[in-house]
Chains A and B, each alone.
Chain A
């Protein structure tokens, strides 16, 4: 499965990239599995997820949960807790 991953705010700065195209192994089918797979790639992802706690995830521009399923071509965004207003 292929997904587009976007990063925002402190996470984008920490990783040094705003987006990447990921080709996922067959067993990576949920948000939680994607995050684990990214961290398993090593740094900077592993360290960034430690340094920036409570990372939120959106799938196709809607807030997701750890068990939210991914789909081919999905837009998955990772970002810190929001601070607008």
Chain B
């Protein structure tokens, strides 16, 4: 399941819903949070932009790949857009499975692909003005370790 929204997400409510499935033996959860420092500058706020339509499709494609690679019961991705401030949560990924191995791996896989494939862009407000965040090569490397054939490029 994939959602893109402006508002805050309720981690406990999502966990309670996913945990209600009696087959679930493991839940892995990742929360990405806005930091107050990036590339040496303090960050007062950031604005997240997306490509309505394509972003949802890209995330659904990543979740579908995760389901193909591991035995999962559910994989949830909630990503926020709009203006966010330090300590605000940006993204939530929750994966449920029978055992922890699949849940941990799929959660990391989804984030590595989200960072490099899903059309979101961050613009930061720093003391010297606003700037678009640059993509990181380390994020490409993180995705590549999942192996060939996983990307459609």
Contacts and interface: CB of A to CB of B under 8 A. Distances in A.
To the question of whether A and B form a pair in one complex, the answer is: yes
B153 A65 contact: yes
A27 B111 CA distance: 40
A9 B54 contact: no
A69 B27 CA distance: 42
A83 B120 contact: yes
A84 B152 contact: no
A56 B91 CA distance: 23
A81 B139 CA distance: 11
| Chain A interface, >50% SS class | loop
A79 to B, nearest CB: 6
Given A80-B132, A83-B122, A83-B135, A63 B49 contact: no
Nearest to B123: A9
Among B54, B111, B116, the one with the most A-chain Cβ atoms within 10 Å of its Cβ is B54
B37 interface: no
Interface string A41-85: 000000000000010001001110100000000000101111111
Contacts of A82: 115-121, 135
Contacts of B116: 82
B133 interface: yes
B115 A85 contact: yes
B129 interface: no
Given A62-B54, A83-B120, 5 more contacts: A61-B54, A65-B153, A82-B135, A84-B114, A85-B90
12 contacts: A6-B51, A9-B121, A62-B54, A62-B57, A80-B121, A80-B132, A82-B120, A82-B121, A83-B134, A84-B50, A84-B90, A85-B120
Interface of A: 6, 8-10, 54, 58, 61-63, 65, 77, 79-85
